[in-house]
């Protein structure tokens, strides 16, 4: 059938399940925006800038399965590259569409605006190539095959792809196939699948202390529900990486806690370290980092499950699709009825003390009790992410953190994306003042879209995570002191927003009570001392300094 290239692109995005495309208009993509506007069921969400748009597309993809970003060539593409690299690092499938100069201008190497004006149209593509699993430049004679190839790479490999769409071809009609884009994952090689499953099942059957270690790829490979069934059938305890937090229930008695290398709670480190059958889903160890160091892991005997392969005791089985492997394992493993541990119910907290300055020691245990089933909890890098590590989330909760790439400011736009994907779930964000300043304008888009998240701004007057690494009292770790609570009124004067600020324990109780029953967006400043920090951060900082600066570094003089 005949269809314009623009319409074909949009149809394919819809077939992947994309209903919102984030981005910023520019002359090279306006003609695509016209076509988005004409199609029901897909919406362009304009962001304040492209970096924010890329973070929003990432947050959307994490909650929707896949996301999309639309920019204009050069200026837009390169403003978004940090967010795309983050999606690449964290295995988040984002379709990055760039409206480029017209094809004749690129083929003729003309000097155009939004380029270096020297006829080079390879440089932007070369840059994005480093952080995507596939990239293409559409033409009228390759659009069908290239688009399908690229989109399938994104879907299967769960990483971003980059698609250049020249501005002068999107209204050209081409022949497009009748069939939908097939999202089914490739089937496994039967012998490899059966051999691997049998071997793992045998290991599980004879193991005294099997443990499952869950990381983000369990989500990307769509095996979290299969794994939940497996741990139930085998009565297998499990831990998660920080990047895999809450993919399996944290309210389950079999949940051990978050495995955080040397910084793990003793019972978690011990259970993982002493397992005689450790099954891990493509764990992402950060080696040169105090966050996760795989000390004492019985690596030799591990089962490592990746999307399309599995390693069992050092033998790699290629061509084994994770979801098929888990399904087969579920058939093979005998049920166990081992005694399970009781769910650890958090102890009652001491009552809030009126007038007592709010502390991290108080805040985070209190927040654990604030969360509800099915909340989407988002923690910004730094203080919030470190504090949240050991906070248990309720049943059905999702957790978003950008722990590997670690770009501060990521979470505010990511919240926008996550809520657009799942508007009926409550979203709760924790973000520091230093991080908020990077991407603050996206609060405007959140309120313009009439979303109702609860945003906790942790105001500790600067980069407290950096302070604990180096420069405790240095000027470079200080930032301007904004009147944060006025921001919603500036960005959306007509929006109904619960705005509050709390600096004491009783004020916290009061704002939490209000937020808990609010049917509006909430923007809540929590004022904490610049030098207060969660215990995890206090121990994290000096270890990072030693790793980063070595034995002649300035941390030795502090």
| Active-site annotation, residues | 27, 50, 113-114, 406, 433, 460, 462, 466
Q: How many CB atoms lie within 10 A of CB 340?
A: 13
Contacts of 433 (CB under 8 A, 6+ apart): 457, 458, 459, 460, 461, 462, 479, 482, 484
- Footprint on residues 491-520 left by a copy of itself (CB under 8 A): 491-493
Interface pick for a copy of itself out of 1, 208, 288, 347 (rule CB under 8 A):
288
By beta-carbon proximity to a copy of itself, the closer residue of 255 and 308 is 308
CA 457 to chain centre: 19
Reported in sequence order, the residue ranges of 196-286 that DSSP labels E, i.e. its strands, are 210-214, 238-240, 255-258, 277-281
- 489 near a copy of itself, rule: CB under 8 A: yes
- 175 near a copy of itself, rule: CB under 8 A: no
The token pair at 419 is 């809520």
- 102 near a copy of itself, rule: CB under 8 A: yes
Interface pick for a copy of itself out of 437, 510, 535, 539 (rule CB under 8 A):
437
By beta-carbon proximity to a copy of itself, the closer residue of 63 and 470 is 470
- 3 near a copy of itself, rule: CB under 8 A: no
- 548 near a copy of itself, rule: CB under 8 A: yes
Stretch that binds a copy of itself, among 103-111, 253-261, 268-276, 346-354 (CB under 8 A): 103-111
Cβ at position 511, least distance to a copy of itself in Å: 20
Q: How many CB atoms lie within 10 A of CB 450?
A: 12
The token pair at 557 is 């003089």
**C-alpha angle 366/369/373, rounded to 5°?**
150
Cβ at position 145, least distance to a copy of itself in Å: 22
46 φ, ψ (degrees, to nearest 5): -75, 130
- Footprint on residues 337-356 left by a copy of itself (CB under 8 A): none
- Footprint on residues 19-38 left by a copy of itself (CB under 8 A): 24-28, 30-31, 33-34, 37
Alpha-carbon distance of 439 to 412, in angstroms, equals 7
The token pair at 174 is 């081409």
By beta-carbon proximity to a copy of itself, the closer residue of 93 and 471 is 471
Q: How many CA atoms lie within 13 A of 520 on its CB side?
A: 14
Alpha-carbon distance of 390 to 382, in angstroms, equals 14
- 167 near a copy of itself, rule: CB under 8 A: yes
Cβ at position 451, least distance to a copy of itself in Å: 13
The neighbouring-strand residues paired with 432 are: 458
Report helix, strand or coil for 418: helix
- H-helix or E-strand spanning residue 188: none
Interface characters, 299-318, with a copy of itself (x: CB under 8 A): --------------------
Stretch that binds a copy of itself, among 85-93, 256-264, 367-375, 500-508 (CB under 8 A): 85-93
Interface pick for a copy of itself out of 232, 262, 336, 448 (rule CB under 8 A):
448
Interface characters, 457-476, with a copy of itself (x: CB under 8 A): ------x--x--xxx--xxx
**Residue with tokens 């049917």, as numbered in its chain:** 519
Interface pick for a copy of itself out of 7, 8, 22, 44 (rule CB under 8 A):
44
**C-alpha angle 174/129/167, rounded to 5°?**
35
- 539 near a copy of itself, rule: CB under 8 A: no
Strands 173-175 and 2-4: antiparallel
- Footprint on residues 380-409 left by a copy of itself (CB under 8 A): 403-409
- 79 near a copy of itself, rule: CB under 8 A: yes
Cβ at position 478, least distance to a copy of itself in Å: 8
How big is the site for a copy of itself, counted in residues (CB under 8 A)? 107
By beta-carbon proximity to a copy of itself, the closer residue of 37 and 341 is 37
The token pair at 400 is 């978003």
**Residue with tokens 């009609």, as numbered in its chain:** 173
- Footprint on residues 59-78 left by a copy of itself (CB under 8 A): 74-75, 78
Q: How many CB atoms lie within 10 A of CB 269?
A: 21
Cβ at position 242, least distance to a copy of itself in Å: 11
Interface pick for a copy of itself out of 3, 19, 82, 327 (rule CB under 8 A):
82
CA 11 to chain centre: 26
CA 24 to chain centre: 21
The token pair at 328 is 């087969």
Residue closest to 458 by CA, chosen among 420, 490, 428, 488: 428
By beta-carbon proximity to a copy of itself, the closer residue of 394 and 553 is 553
- 130 near a copy of itself, rule: CB under 8 A: yes
By beta-carbon proximity to a copy of itself, the closer residue of 204 and 438 is 438
Contacts of 162 (CB under 8 A, 6+ apart): 84, 96, 98, 125, 128, 129, 132, 134, 135, 136
Q: How many CB atoms lie within 10 A of CB 163?
A: 25
- 530 near a copy of itself, rule: CB under 8 A: no
By beta-carbon proximity to a copy of itself, the closer residue of 273 and 553 is 553
Interface pick for a copy of itself out of 180, 483, 513, 514 (rule CB under 8 A):
483
**Residue with tokens 């295995």, as numbered in its chain:** 91
Stretch that binds a copy of itself, among 99-107, 141-149, 193-201, 519-527 (CB under 8 A): 99-107
Cβ at position 397, least distance to a copy of itself in Å: 24
């Amino acid at each position: 059938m005949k269809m314009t290239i623009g319409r074909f692109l949009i149809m394919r995005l819809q077939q992947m399940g994309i209903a919102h495309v984030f981005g910023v208009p520019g002359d090279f993509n306006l003609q695509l925006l016209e076509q988005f506007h004409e199609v029901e069921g897909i919406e362009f969400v304009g962001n304040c800038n492209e970096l924010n748009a890329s973070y929003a597309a990432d947050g959307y993809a994490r909650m929707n399965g896949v996301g999309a970003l639309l920019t204009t060539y050069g200026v837009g593409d390169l403003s978004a590259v940090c967010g795309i690299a983050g999606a690449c690092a964290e295995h988040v499938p984002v379709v990055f569409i760039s409206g480029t100069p017209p094809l004749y201008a690129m083929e003729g190497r003309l000097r155009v605006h939004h380029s270096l004006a020297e006829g080079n149209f390879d440089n932007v593509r070369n840059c994005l190539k480093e952080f995507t699993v596939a990239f293409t430049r559409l033409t009228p004679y390759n659009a069908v095959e290239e688009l399908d190839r690229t989109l399938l790479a994104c879907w299967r490999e769960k990483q971003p792809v980059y698609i250049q769409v020249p501005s002068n071809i999107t209204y050209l009609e081409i022949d497009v196939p009748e069939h939908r884009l097939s999202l089914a994952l490739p089937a496994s090689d039967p012998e490899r699948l059966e051999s691997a499953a049998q071997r793992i099942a045998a290991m599980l059957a004879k193991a005294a202390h099997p443990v499952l270690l869950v990381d983000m790829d369990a989500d990307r490979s769509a095996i979290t529900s299969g794994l939940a069934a497996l741990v139930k059938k085998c009565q297998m305890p499990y831990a998660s990486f920080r990047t895999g937090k809450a993919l399996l229930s944290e309210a389950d008695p079999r949940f051990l806690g978050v495995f955080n290398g040397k910084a793990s709670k003793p019972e978690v480190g011990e259970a993982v370290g002493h397992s005689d059958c450790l099954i891990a889903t493509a764990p992402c160890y950060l080696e040169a980092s105090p966050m996760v160091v795989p000390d004492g892991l019985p690596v030799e005997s591990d089962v490592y499950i990746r999307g399309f392969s599995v390693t069992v005791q050092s033998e790699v089985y290629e061509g084994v699709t994770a979801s098929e492997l888990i399904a087969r394992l579920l058939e093979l493993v005998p049920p166990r009825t081992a005694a399970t541990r009781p769910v650890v119910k958090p102890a009652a907290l001491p009552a809030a003390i009126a007038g007592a300055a709010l502390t991290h020691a108080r805040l985070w245990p209190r927040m654990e009790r604030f969360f509800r089933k099915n909340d989407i909890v988002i923690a910004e890098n730094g203080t919030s992410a470190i504090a949240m590590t050991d906070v248990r989330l309720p049943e059905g909760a999702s957790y978003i953190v950008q722990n590997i790439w670690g770009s501060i400011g990521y979470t505010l736009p990511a919240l926008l994306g996550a809520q657009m994907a799942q508007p009926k779930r409550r979203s709760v964000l924790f973000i520091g003042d230093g991080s908020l300043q990077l991407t603050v304008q996206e609060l405007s888009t959140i309120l313009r879209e009439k979303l109702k998240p609860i945003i906790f701004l942790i105001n500790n007057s600067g980069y407290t995570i950096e302070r604990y690494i180096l420069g405790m009292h240095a000027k470079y770790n200080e930032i301007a002191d904004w009147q944060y609570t006025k921001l919603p009124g500036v960005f959306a004067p007509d929006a109904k927003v619960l705005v509050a600020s709390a600096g004491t324990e009783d004020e916290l109780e009061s704002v939490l009570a209000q937020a808990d029953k609010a049917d509006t967006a909430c923007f809540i400043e929590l004022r904490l001392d610049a030098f207060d920090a969660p215990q995890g951060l206090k121990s994290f900082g000096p270890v990072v300094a030693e790793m980063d600066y070595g034995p002649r570094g300035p941390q030795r003089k502090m």
